[in-house]
């Protein structure tokens, strides 16, 4: 059965975050809050945990997983970022944006896109998640918690635990999250491409919303 950590959204208890981090270090898969919706996360270097995460979501290796990073300097360890890209990233982080970038050798090949060698990266603006990342000391491998065959991300931690208690080792409950997914921007080509419009405003980065010329 998954362990439930009920943490205060503004003043999360360090003891509980430490216990959740220990579960992740030990190879567990957890549901955690973000500034868009709840996400499934696991340790970046644990191959078995990453495979279990994909199985829960029922996605294959062509599905972009995301690295949740504490800040831009950590992000730059795992992605190749030039000056133009860095300026754009600085405008949008932390916040509800996911960026597709070329992965560095620090990213295990099995978690990047098999043909493009790209990875999704983001710096979330959620206090509980930021403190969990700090406790862990490295990024988390993540994917939005959308149940197989459904289109909406889950937002109720109690419901998440009931539904996935045999598949998850931990649920970090910090209350409800916004229901919109992140805005996804592909920075791996010559020009930024808006892939998915979500909670982040693409106009803030000089990009036209989808459907507009």
Is it the case that residue 68 has pLDDT exceeding 80? yes
pLDDT in tens, 79-123: 999 999 999 999 899 999 999 999 998 888 877 777 788 999 999
- The structure's pTM equals 0.92
Output 197 or 210, whichever has higher pLDDT. 197
The answer to whether 54 and 100 are in contact (CB under 8 A) is: no
CB 133 within 8 A of CB 153: no
Please state, in angstroms and rounded to a whole number, the distance separating the CA atoms of residues 111 and 67: 10
Which tens digits make up the pLDDT trace of 47-67?
Answer: 999 999 999 999 887 787 899
């Amino acid at each position: 059965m998954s362990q439930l950590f009920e943490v205060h959204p503004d003043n999360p208890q360090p003891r509980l975050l430490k216990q959740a981090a220990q579960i992740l270090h030990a190879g567990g898969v957890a549901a955690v809050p973000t500034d868009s919706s709840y996400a499934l996360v696991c340790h970046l270097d644990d191959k078995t945990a990453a495979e279990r995460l994909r199985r829960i979501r029922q996605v294959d290796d062509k599905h972009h997983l995301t690295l949740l990073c504490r800040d831009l300097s950590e992000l730059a360890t795992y992605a190749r970022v030039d000056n133009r890209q860095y300026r754009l990233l600085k405008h949008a982080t932390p916040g509800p944006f996911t960026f597709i970038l070329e992965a560095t050798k620090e990213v295990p090949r099995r978690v990047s896109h098999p043909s493009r060698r790209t990875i999704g990266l983001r710096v979330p603006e959620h206090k509980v998640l930021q403190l969990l990342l700090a406790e862990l000391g490295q990024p988390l491998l993540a994917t939005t918690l959308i149940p197989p065959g459904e289109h909406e991300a889950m937002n109720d931690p109690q419901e998440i635990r009931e539904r996935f208690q045999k598949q998850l080792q931990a649920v970090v409950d910090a209350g409800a999250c916004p229901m919109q997914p992140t805005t996804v921007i592909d920075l791996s080509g010559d020009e930024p491409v808006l892939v998915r419009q979500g909670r982040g405003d693409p106009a803030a980065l000089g990009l036209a919303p989808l459907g507009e010329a």
